[in-house]
């Protein structure tokens, strides 16, 4: 089976490429390398550099490489950046999805696995969040993911493109025994920011707000380990090809950790008493996001292997220790 992984040089896409290769899939990667790293791509995958919005290029790759299914990891994904630069997000994420679906129609490729997000739910009415919860995003990033899901729905009705949208909760950890990890510039995510601060000893880690409606006042998130997340993609791909029916699944562990609890878990894993400053709120952050992932567990038979924050942080810590300067060290 031949899979095109768009965004396969990014943090999550590169772990997908490595696992697909390991499991015997033929993998082709398309990545613009705006935020991804060429060194993150498994050498057994064929690599093209280019933009998802380049319909002609995408359709040529789909045809020439005889692709059976696409995994799409090429959206911009930073909540705070999307609040500051919404048009950048609507352009890349929404226009990118339209271009991809046009190219898939053109090349007659009918299967798509796509990264959606818990950011689609906004401020949930109740926890944990099921797939039926209303979609009311509170930041442009989440809004682009809702739009992408809607566009896919209508493309399925009209053109028979079958897709599975995986609504990720917060992803952390590293692939390949700490050899493929998170390396964003600038880094905005909680776990890498804590671990970078642990390594550098700069004392600059800040928690954004302690006046939320949660047990300790800091935001609560559900952290899913990146290898577990990729297991869900491969199960979703098999399910889609077998059942030929579009669907949507939450991918999270169903355990919520506050930002202070994540800091505590990181101290435990690293053995370092990482200091922090309590700062003001960051805009666009919902109080709490915790998944009800019953549907993925029962329908896809997905079983995350890392259920605690310590387990999830452990592989990220391996990556940061081995590669304190990210892919520059590889
Ligand atoms: N945070 C800090 N300090 C930091 C970085 C983050 O306190 O240095 C806080 C944030 O304010 C938030 C929490 O840590 O309360 C998690 O923030 P992240 O930036 O790590 O992740 P987000 O929850 O903003 O977003 C992530 C992905 C999105 C995805 C979302 C789903 O980046 O793509 O999870 O829950 F949609």
CB of 79 closer than 6 A to ligand 1? yes
Q: Tokens for 13?
A: 């896409």
Residue 291 belongs to some domain of the structure: yes
**In a shared domain, residues 162 and 115:** yes
Q: 263 CA to middle of ligand 1, Å?
A: 13
* Res 191: pLDDT: 98
Shortest-distance Cα residue to atom 26 of ligand 1: 170
Confidence band for 284, pLDDT divided at 50, 70 and 90? confident
* ipTM exceeding the 0.85 mark: yes
**In a shared domain, residues 276 and 323:** yes
Confidence band for 10, pLDDT divided at 50, 70 and 90? very high
**CA gap 194, 317 in Å, rounded:** 10
**In a shared domain, residues 239 and 263:** no
**In a shared domain, residues 267 and 288:** yes
Phi, psi of 186 (to 5 degrees): -80, 160
Q: 5 CA to middle of ligand 1, Å?
A: 25
**In a shared domain, residues 208 and 125:** no
**In a shared domain, residues 135 and 213:** no
By the 8 A CB rule, do 120 and 137 touch?
yes
Q: 189 CA to middle of ligand 1, Å?
A: 5
Report the run of H or E that residue 313 belongs to, with start and end: helix 309-322
Per DSSP, the residues of 8-63 read: TTSHHHHHHHHHHHHTT-EEEEEE--SS--GGGS-TTSEEEE--TT-HHHHHHHHH
Confidence band for 306, pLDDT divided at 50, 70 and 90? very high
CB of 221 closer than 6 A to ligand 1? yes
**In a shared domain, residues 228 and 216:** no
For a pocket test of ligand 1, which of 282, 291, 313 has the largest count of ligand atoms closer than 8 A to its C-beta? 282
Among the ranges given (158-162, 176-180, 228-232, 268-272), the one the predictor scored with the smallest mean pLDDT: 176-180
For residue 329, pLDDT beyond 90: no
Residue 310 belongs to some domain of the structure: yes
Q: Tokens for 103?
A: 């190219």
* Res 209: pLDDT: 98
CB of 153 closer than 6 A to ligand 1? no
**In a shared domain, residues 155 and 264:** no
For residue 214, pLDDT beyond 80: yes
**CA gap 56, 130 in Å, rounded:** 38
Q: What CATH code is carried by the domain that includes residue 151?
A: 3.40.50.720
CB of 282 closer than 6 A to ligand 1? yes
**In a shared domain, residues 199 and 104:** no
**CA gap 156, 153 in Å, rounded:** 5
For a pocket test of ligand 1, which of 190, 274, 287 has the largest count of ligand atoms closer than 8 A to its C-beta? 190
For residue 308, pLDDT beyond 90: yes
Average pLDDT along the chain: 97
Residue 181 belongs to some domain of the structure: no
CB of 219 closer than 6 A to ligand 1? yes
Residue 179 belongs to some domain of the structure: no
Residue 178 belongs to some domain of the structure: no
* Res 184: pLDDT: 93
Confidence band for 9, pLDDT divided at 50, 70 and 90? very high
The pLDDT tens digits for 32-80 are: 999 999 999 999 999 999 999 999 999 999 999 999 999 999 999 999 9
Domain span including residue 82: 2-172+224-251
Per DSSP, the residues of 191-210 read: HHHHHHHHHH-----EEE-S
The pLDDT tens digits for 239-276 are: 999 999 999 999 999 999 999 999 999 999 999 999 99
Active site residue 76: no
By the 8 A CB rule, do 137 and 284 touch?
no
Catalytic residue among 25, 89, 121, 141: 141
**CA gap 114, 70 in Å, rounded:** 8
Question: What average pLDDT does range 307-326 have in this prediction?
Answer: 96
Strand 26-31 to strand 277-279: parallel, antiparallel, or no bridges (unpaired)? unpaired
CB of 77 closer than 6 A to ligand 1? yes
Question: What average pLDDT does range 132-154 have in this prediction?
Answer: 97
Residue 53 belongs to some domain of the structure: yes
Q: 105 CA to middle of ligand 1, Å?
A: 35
Closest atom, ligand 1, to C-alpha of 284: 24
Residue 92 belongs to some domain of the structure: yes
Q: What CATH code is carried by the domain that includes residue 217?
A: 3.90.25.10
* Res 230: pLDDT: 98
C-alpha to C-alpha distances, 101 to 13, 128, 156, 255, nearest whole angstrom:
19, 32, 10, 35
For residue 91, pLDDT beyond 80: yes
Report the run of H or E that residue 166 belongs to, with start and end: strand 162-168
Instruction: Provide the number of structural domains found in the chain.
Output: 2
Residue 182 belongs to some domain of the structure: no
Angle at 280 between CA 226 and CA 187, to 5 degrees: 35
By the 8 A CB rule, do 122 and 136 touch?
yes
* Res 330: pLDDT: 74
**In a shared domain, residues 273 and 125:** no
CB of 184 closer than 6 A to ligand 1? no
At residue 261, the 3 state secondary structure works out as helix
**In a shared domain, residues 97 and 199:** no
**In a shared domain, residues 85 and 160:** yes
Domain termination site, one of 213, 233, 251: 251
By the 8 A CB rule, do 95 and 139 touch?
no
For residue 116, pLDDT beyond 90: yes
């Amino acid at each position: 089976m031949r899979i095109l992984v768009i965004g396969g040089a990014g943090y999550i896409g590169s772990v997908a490429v490595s696992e697909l290769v390991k499991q015997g899939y033929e993998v082709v990667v398309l990545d613009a390398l705006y935020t991804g790293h060429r060194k993150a791509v498994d050498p057994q995958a064929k690599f093209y550099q280019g933009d998802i919005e380049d319909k002609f290029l995408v359709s040529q790759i789909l045809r020439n490489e005889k692709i059976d299914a696409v995994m799409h990891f090429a959206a911009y994904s930073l909540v705070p950046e999307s609040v500051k630069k919404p048009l950048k997000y609507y352009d890349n994420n929404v226009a990118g999805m339209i271009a991809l679906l046009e190219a898939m129609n053109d090349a007659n490729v009918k299967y798509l696995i796509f990264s959606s997000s818990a950011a689609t739910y906004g401020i949930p009415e109740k926890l944990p969040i099921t797939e039926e919860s209303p979609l009311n995003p509170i930041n442009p990033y989440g809004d682009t993911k809702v739009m992408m899901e809607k566009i896919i729905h209508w493309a399925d009705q009209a053109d028979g493109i079958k897709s599975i949208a995986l609504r990720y909760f917060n992803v952390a950890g590293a692939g390949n025994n700490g050899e493929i990890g998170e390396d964003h510039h600038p880094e905005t995510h909680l776990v890498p920011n804590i671990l970078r601060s642990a390594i550098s000893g700069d004392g600059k880690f800040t928690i954004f707000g302690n006046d939320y409606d949660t047990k300790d006042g800091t935001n609560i998130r559900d952290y899913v380990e990146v290898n577990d997340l990729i297991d869900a993609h491969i199960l979703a791909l098999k399910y889609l090809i077998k059942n030929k029916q579009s669907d949507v699944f939450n991918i999270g562990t169903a355990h919520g950790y506050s930002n202070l609890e994540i800091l505590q878990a990181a101290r435990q894993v690293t053995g370092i008493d990482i200091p922090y400053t309590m700062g003001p709120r960051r805009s666009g952050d919902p109080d709490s996001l915790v998944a009800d992932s019953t549907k993925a567990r029962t329908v896809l038979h997905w079983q995350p292997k890392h259920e605690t924050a310590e387990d999830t942080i452990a592989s990220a810590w391996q990556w940061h220790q081995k590669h304190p300067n990210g892919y520059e060290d590889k």
